[in-house]
C-alpha cells in the first residue's frame, strides 16, 4: 500500500512539539547542510563532518539529567502484534542494506535492559505493508541495554523525508513513540515533522550503511558506584585507545590527540573507536 501524502492529517503537523532542547540546538547544523557518506570505507558520520569540516553534534547521547528522546506522532501505518525479530529483511530484499544499533538509557545514563522496541517503516519504494508484517518487527534490549536492527534504507513518499518509526517501552513504563531520521536528506528541511534531535549517525559500509542512535527514556535512576566519575578531567591514565583492551567505566584514554572517558565497560574492537561510539565514550 502506497501512503498518501504525509504520515497523518494536515492538522497533525501543527501539533508537533515545538520545544527546543539543548540537543536540538546542538544538532541544528545537520538539518541545514548535507552530510556526505563516503565510499570505500571512509567514515563521514553526522557528528564528525559538516560544511567546512566543522564538527557537528553527537547523536543524542546521555548525560546525567539529559532530556529524554523527544516523542513524535505514530502516523496511520502502525500495526500491533508485529513478529519478534531483529532483522526485517531476507537475502533477496531489494534496497540499500542498513544496520541500526545503539543503546537505551535512563535519565542517569544507566543502560536499561528488557526495553521493548517495535520498529516499522516503508520499503525501498516508499510503501508500507498493511496486509502483512513486512518491514515490521519488535525486539528487546539485551542485558547491556543494546539493540541491533537489520533492514534497508526507507524509501521516500510524498510529504515525508526518509524515516523509521519506533515505539520504546521499558518494563512497567509508558510507551515512547518517535521516529528516526537520516542525515543529509534534502527533504529534511521541508518535512514538517523532522526533528534534528532524532537524527541517526550514518556511514557507508560496503554496499550498505550503518546507523547508530541512543534512546534516553524518562526513567529516574540512581547513579551506581560504577558510573563514570564527575570529577574534573585529568590526564588519561589509560594511554592511547587500542582494540583488544577491556575498558571499565571511568577509564580515560586518548585517541587522535583527544581525551575520552569510558561510559560503559566493554572489550574494544576495531570500528568502536571513541569518536564513533558515543554510547561507550565521551570527550573529556
pLDDT digits (tens, 9 = 90+) for 9-24: 333 333 333 333 333 3
* pTM assigned to the model: 0.62
| Residue 32 pLDDT greater than 50, yes or no | no
121: left (phi over 0), alpha (psi -120 to 50) or beta: beta
pLDDT of 247 higher than 70? yes
> Which range, of 32-46, 181-195, 219-233, averages the lowest pLDDT?
32-46
Q: What is the pLDDT of residue 220?
A: 87
DSSP H helical ranges for the chain:
10-13, 22-32
Nearest to 199 by CA among 86, 61, 62, 64: 61
Q: Is the pLDDT of residue 163 over 90?
A: yes
Query: What whole-number distance in Å separates Cα of residue 72 and Cα of residue 24?
Result: 14
b vs e for 161-194, b when ≥16 Cβ sit within 10 Å of the residue's Cβ?
A: bbbbbbbbbbeeeeebbbbbbbbbbeebeebebb
Q: Which of 233, 261, 270, 273 is nearest to 109 (CA)?
A: 261
pLDDT of residue 62: 61
Asked if pLDDT for residue 133 goes beyond 70, the answer is: yes
Choose the weakest-confidence range: 93-97, 102-106, 163-167, 257-261: 257-261
Sequence-ordered list of residues with C-beta below 8 angstroms from that of 125, at least 6 positions apart, any chain: 2, 155
Amino acid at each position: 500500500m502506497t501512503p498518501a501524502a504525509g504520515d497523518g492529517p494536515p492538522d497533525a503537523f501543527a501539533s508537533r512539539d515545538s520545544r527546543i532542547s539543548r540537543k536540538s540546538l546542538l544538532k541544528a547544523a545537520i538539518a541545514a547542510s548535507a552530510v556526505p557518506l563516503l565510499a570505500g570505507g571512509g567514515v563521514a558520520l553526522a557528528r564528525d563532518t559538516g560544511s567546512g569540516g566543522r564538527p557537528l553534534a553527537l547523536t543524542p547521547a546521555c548525560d546525567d539529567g539529559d532530556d529524554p528522546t523527544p516523542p513524535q506522532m505514530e502516523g496511520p501505518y502502525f500495526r500491533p502484534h508485529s513478529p519478534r525479530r531483529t532483522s526485517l529483511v531476507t537475502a533477496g530484499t531489494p534496497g540499500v542494506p542498513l544496520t541500526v544499533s545503539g543503546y537505551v538509557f535512563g535519565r542517569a545514563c544507566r543502560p536499561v535492559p528488557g526495553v521493548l522496541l517495535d520498529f516499522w517503516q516503508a520499503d525501498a519504494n516508499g510503501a508500507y505493508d498493511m496486509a502483512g508484517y513486512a518491514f515490521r518487527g519488535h525486539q528487546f534490549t539485551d542485558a547491556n541495554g543494546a539493540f541491533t536492527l537489520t533492514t534497508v534504507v526507507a524509501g521516500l513518499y510524498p510529504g515525508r523525508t526518509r524515516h523509521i518509526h519506533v515505539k520504546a517501552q521499558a518494563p512497567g513504563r509508558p510507551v515512547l513513540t518517535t521516529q528516526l531520521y537520516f542525515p543529509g536528506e534534502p527533504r529534511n528541511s521541508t518535512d514538517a515533522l523532522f526533528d534534528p534531535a532524532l537524527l541517526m549517525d550514518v556511514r557507508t559500509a560496503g554496499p550498505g550503511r550503518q546507523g547508530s542512535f541512543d534512546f534516553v527514556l524518562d526513567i529516574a535512576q540512581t547513579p551506581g558506584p560504577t558510573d563514570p566519575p564527575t570529577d574534573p578531567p585529568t590526564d588519561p591514565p589509560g594511554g592511547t585507545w587500542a582494540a583488544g583492551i577491556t575498558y571499565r567505566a571511568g577509564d580515560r584514554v586518548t585517541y587522535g590527540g583527544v581525551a575520552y572517558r569510558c561510559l560503559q565497560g566493554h572489550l574494544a574492537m576495531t570500528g568502536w573507536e571513541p569518536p564513533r561510539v558515543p554510547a561507550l565514550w565521551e570527550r573529556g
